[in-house]
Structure 1
Amino acid sequence: MNRVMVIGVSAGVGKSTFARALGKLTKIGVTHLDRLYWKSGWVEAPAEEFSSAQREIVKRDQWIIEGNYTSTIDIREPHADTVIYLELPLRVCLYRVVKRRIQYHGKTREDLTEGCPEKIDWAFIKFILTTYGRRKRKMLERMQRYANEGKTVHYLKSSAQIQGFLSTFSKGEVR
């Protein structure tokens, strides 16, 4: 496990938190795609800049890249040897999105660019609600394809599975 994609079914599933923990346990550097995509003030990075940054990262021998951004996933896919997919229930994802909005009110999370204070709006909630089911189906197909391509795939569907996976590293087991 040297080049790891951490993806998930939805915002709030825990991709950033998981990737940070995995990075600490494995000593592999973590890149949060939100930090590359969003510039201060919630301004989107130009598409070529966002893509170019990813092309540079995947040249490294080791990396953990966290985030879905399926419009550029083709940059990461061929280089990844491991894919970790997080899928928690919709209600958990929504709860976590609201919780982090309260927790980080007026502050910027560490997985975002400075100057992007936590926010939530109806459009974001609606996006989560209306895309969850479709994304779940598409991600399952994607995970099956990755496995067929010979990538190591970890499909973690509960908080217990996520914690169990991380605990294997703290016990010294190698995956």
Structure 2
Amino acid sequence: MESLGTDGEMKRVVIAGCPGAGKSRAARTLSDLTGLPVIHLDSHYWQPGWQRPSPEVWRATMKELIARPRWIMDGNYGSTLDLRLKAADTLIYLDFKTFLCATRVLKRSVLGRGGTRSGELPDGCLERFDWPFFKFVLNYRRTRRERDLESIRVFSGVSHVFIRPRQLKRFLGSLESGPVS
């Protein structure tokens, strides 16, 4: 494993990328390998009934979350990416094709309809198809990707950018099992 912090271990990991890229799954797998706790940002952002917090409340929540000594955070939320990257030692960016991400979002919204993603969404936020969100996924590479890549370019920690799921799988498979101390 690359040297990540002053002691060479991952302690604060940001996983970002287009919705549907597999950020939450990657976070769970990485957590199993490292022992780092996962913070699913969706579960902290959304309020019952898919209500959004104010920008001020969301930034305050994010400041509390990043103050924790160890974590894996999955989710985008571009308005607070700067805070997460300043606190992180490692960034994993899933730069997967639109077709793959859109297919996964569609599958998740249809197969999970009316249910919840345990631990990933708060109570009162049932899985559903949402056309504006799906449009966001379809347009992500054109409208948001460059902003994310610019954040990666100035990130001072260790960055891993994966353009194919098999690259991510290979990376995760290369990590030693066992908790990070």
TM-score, structure 1 normalization: 0.88
Matched, 1:50 2:50: no
Q: Distance between the aligned counterparts of 1:140 and 1:45, measured in 2?
A: 26
Note the 1:24-43 alignment, pairs <5 A. 24-43=32-51
Change (3 A) 1:25 1:160: same
Which of 82, 93, 99 is 1:85 aligned to?
93
Which of 144, 148, 159 is 2:153 aligned to?
144
Note the 1:151-162 alignment, pairs <5 A. 151-162=157-168
Aligned residues: 169
Tell me the alpha carbon deviations over residues 71-114 of structure 1, each in whole angstroms, 9 at most, x when there is no partner.
11222121111111001110000100011012211101121112
The more displaced of 18-27 and 89-98 is 18-27
Which of 53, 63, 72 is 2:71 aligned to?
63
Note the 1:95-134 alignment, pairs <5 A. 95-110=103-118, 111-134=120-143
Paired residues of 1:36 and 1:45 also in contact (CA < 8 A): no
Aligned to 1:92, what secondary structure does the other structure show?
Answer: helix
Change (3 A) 1:35 1:126: same
What is the alpha-carbon root mean square deviation over aligned residues? Answer: 1.7
The more displaced of 118-127 and 131-140 is 131-140
Paired residues of 2:41 and 2:75 also in contact (CA < 8 A): yes
Matched, 1:2 2:11: yes
TM-score, structure 2 normalization: 0.86
Q: Distance between the aligned counterparts of 1:71 and 1:141, measured in 2?
A: 14
Q: Distance between the aligned counterparts of 2:115 and 2:172, measured in 1?
A: 28
Which of 163, 166, 171 is 2:172 aligned to?
166
* Percent identical: 39
Q: After TM superposition, give the deviation of residue 49 of structure 1 in Å.
A: 2.9
Tell me the alpha carbon deviations over residues 46-78 of structure 1, each in whole angstroms, 9 at most, x when there is no partner.
333322222122222211111111111222121
1:116 aligned partner, one-letter code: C
1:132 aligned partner, one-letter code: R
Paired residues of 2:11 and 2:69 also in contact (CA < 8 A): yes
Tell me the alpha carbon deviations over residues 116-167 of structure 1, each in whole angstroms, 9 at most, x when there is no partner.
1111222222222233223232322222221xx3x10000111111111111
The runs of 5 or more residues in structure 1 that have no matched partner are none
Matched, 1:94 2:102: yes
1:99 aligned partner, one-letter code: K
